[in-house]
Amino acid sequence: MKQSNKDVQKNEDIQKACDYLDVHFKDSISVKNLATRFNLSPFHFSRLFKKEVGSSPHQYLVNRRLLEAKQLLANTNMTVETVAMECGFSSTSHFIRAFKGAMDITPKQFRKMPF
């Protein structure tokens, strides 16, 4: 089945949204603001994003922040608090909960792992 120009534009918008999140993951980003950047309603943007990417915009952002956090924990001596702030988490406790939820270990335990 051939994609319409409208479908191609939607795919490009979602790719641009992912690119934007990959660059600006440290910033405070809301789905509403992200949807506005692409002239879509927050509901439609979220639905389209999940369909194309497989996760919600919020979960994509959290996963991107956690990816950066793992790199910093493995390759720097930054404190857990500093890593949390550098990766865009609103608080250290939010970072630790998100990290443990995704990895089943705390950031401190992750740092002690041999690489």
Q: In 3D, which of 53, 46, 42, 43 has the Cα closest to residue 11?
A: 53
Chain centre distance of CA 97:
15
pLDDT score for 99: 98
For residue 4, the SS3 value is coil
- Predicted confidence (pLDDT) per residue in 66-102, tens digit: 999 999 999 999 999 999 999 999 999 999 999 999 9
Instruction: Please tell me the least confidently modeled range out of 4-8, 9-13, 96-100, 106-110.
Output: 4-8
> In terms of Cα–Cα distance, which of 21, 111, 97, 14 is closest to 65?
21
**Sign of the dihedral through C-alpha 20, 92, 113, 75:** positive
- CB atoms closer than 10 angstroms to residue 55: 13
What pLDDT, in 10s, does the model give residues 20-62?
Answer: 999 999 999 999 999 999 999 999 999 999 999 999 999 999 9
Chain centre distance of CA 1: 32
pLDDT by residue (tens digit) across 52-66?
A: 999 999 999 999 999
pTM for this model (two decimals): 0.88
